[in-house]
Amino acid sequence: MDKIVSLAKRRGFIYQSSEIYGGINSCYDYGPLGVELKRNIKDLWWKSMVYERDDVEGVDASILMHPKVWEASGHVEGFTDPLIDCKICKSRFREDKIDVSKPCPVCGNKESFTDARSFNLMFKTFMGPVEDSANIVYLRPETAQGIFTNFHNVRESSRQRPPFGIAQIGKAFRNEITPGNFIFRTREFEQMEMQFFVKPGDDEKWFEYWMEARLSWYERLGLKKEKLRFHEHGPDELAHYAKAAFDIEYEFPFDWQEIEGIHNRTDFDLGRHAEYSSKDMGFFDDQTKEKYIPYVIETSIGCDRTLLTTLIDAYTEEEERVVLKFAPSVAPFKAAIFPLVKKDGMPELAHKITDELRGEYRVFYDESGSIGRRYRRQDEAGTPFCITIDNDTLKDNTVTIRHRDSMEQLRVASSQLKEYLAKQLK
Ligand code: ATP
């Protein structure tokens, strides 16, 4: 992890937030490479969840919502973690994340924990200038509620009927007791969630469907298959809304941990919103003349946590280089273009090729340092292709393409370059 954190900072993937002031705990900023990687991960998710299907629509709901939403959803009452302190060193832990029968993991003292207290994870703030309890609003702890409250809006305007889903990417906030492991657990993060509305009775079939669909998405992301597994929630792990839940877990350097949750939320959310808003949240099927409150299968994945997973999975140390073996679809730069030397018209030709590719891909021009050093820099950025303009280019208009993982080099006519890359980056 230390190597990943230092590479992430050095190469401009991730910085500590407010670093010049000493940083703020558990908040991070994405740099030039990180922002590209994050966009690519979001695009890949959106593509597979929305563009490639005709039964999922997108929304982008606001972060601040009517406070009653969080009463209805159960978060005001139940979105709590059990907080315990070590009586000796005062370190704080989540009771469900450590073994309390063992000594304190920080100071090693035995039997030193306080009793657990429930701690609500929602951030509170005030709407308007008056800071009183009537004006309390919450920063959403999940994006899902903006989907539930818009169920009828989206259904009616897009003329969808169950089974159909609504997808959303957006920020969520949780006042975590123990943030940590870099961007694995932070207090501000982005989620990519999809709620799929189905007829009660069809829920188990769709649950299985989404489990498989989501697991196979990670292949497109390029993660190693053997590092992924399902973990089924036991009765004492299930969230207050869930009938069944599976996590997709990844083997991080620190342990197997969740990257995505797939939940059968039943009719809990729509039912509760019907109760608290006094609006009818049911669906009337005019073909069968049945009316029901749809069940919801949710897939919920953290974008930042996925980005960390992608970095860890791609990180490879070889004898003479460190290389990030990203899937080309998520790599921040798709290609880097180098003139072999800064003379003989090579920079001009390299600039011309860069400009031609620029409209289509995020590419990078580099003329400084030896060619070997330029390759190494791109290996660390995870750029799948390096294109070099050399003496032969001047003679026959071909360029060298070097593949990041195999380091193989081949020559391609510069007129064929776009086509070649399009095939490779598909
Ligand atoms: P945990 O038990 O680890 O706190 P959770 O079960 O509460 O997590 P969910 O509510 O299912 O998590 O959230 C769905 C996804 O959102 C998680 O799989 C994770 O990828 C992401 N996520 C949740 N909390 C955080 C966080 N504090 N920081 C970064 N990502 C998070």
Task: Mark which of 264, 282, 313 sits at the end of a domain.
Answer: 313
Six token digits for residue 288: 């069968």
Q: Are 301 and 158 found together in one domain?
A: yes
Question: 313: closest CA among 219, 206, 417, 178?
Answer: 219
What predicted TM-score, i.e. pTM, was given to this entire model? 0.94
**pLDDT tens-digit map of 324-349:** 999 999 999 999 999 999 999 999 99
Alpha carbon of 20 to ligand 1 centroid (Å): 29
We report the CATH number of the domain holding residue 60 as 3.30.930.10
Q: Best substitution site from 185, 186, 263 to test ligand 1's pocket, by max atoms within 8 Å of Cβ?
A: 185
Q: Is residue 320 part of a domain?
A: no
C-beta of residue 400 within 8 angstroms of C-beta of residue 408:
no
Q: Are 236 and 273 found together in one domain?
A: yes
Residue whose Cα lies nearest atom 30 of ligand 1: it is: 302
Q: Is residue 325 part of a domain?
A: no
User: DSSP class of residue 186?
Assistant: -
Task: Mark which of 281, 313, 345 sits at the end of a domain.
Answer: 313
Amino acid 118: pLDDT: 87
Q: Is residue 98 part of a domain?
A: no
Q: Are 288 and 347 found together in one domain?
A: no
How many independent structural domains does the chain possess?
2
| E strand intervals along 73-134 | 80-85, 92-94, 117-120, 123-126
**pLDDT tens-digit map of 180-235:** 899 999 999 999 999 999 999 999 999 999 999 999 999 999 999 999 999 999 98
| Crossing angle for the helix pair 2-10 and 303-314, to the nearest 10 degrees | 100
User: 235 is in which domain, residue-wise?
Assistant: 2-64+141-313
Alpha-carbon distance 258 to 202, whole Å?
Answer: 26
With a Cβ cut-off of 6 Å, ligand 1 is lined by 174, 176, 185-186, 189, 191, 258-261, 300-302, 304-305
Q: Is residue 116 part of a domain?
A: no
Alpha-carbon distance 279 to 251, whole Å?
Answer: 44
Q: Is residue 191 part of a domain?
A: yes
Q: Is a pLDDT exceeding 90 seen at residue 99?
A: no
We report the CATH number of the domain holding residue 375 as 3.40.50.800
Q: Is residue 367 part of a domain?
A: yes
Q: Are 288 and 338 found together in one domain?
A: no
Q: Is residue 159 part of a domain?
A: yes
Q: Which atom of ligand 1 is nearest to the CA of 81?
A: 4
Q: Best substitution site from 189, 221, 309 to test ligand 1's pocket, by max atoms within 8 Å of Cβ?
A: 189
Alpha-carbon distance 61 to 168, whole Å?
Answer: 8
Alpha carbon of 302 to ligand 1 centroid (Å): 6
Q: Are 177 and 260 found together in one domain?
A: yes
Q: Which atom of ligand 1 is nearest to the CA of 300?
A: 14
Return the number of other C-beta atoms located less than 10 Å from residue 423's C-beta: 8
Q: Are 290 and 366 found together in one domain?
A: no
Alpha carbon of 43 to ligand 1 centroid (Å): 20
Q: Are 236 and 194 found together in one domain?
A: yes
Return the number of other C-beta atoms located less than 10 Å from residue 132's C-beta: 8
Q: Is residue 69 part of a domain?
A: no
Alpha carbon of 190 to ligand 1 centroid (Å): 10
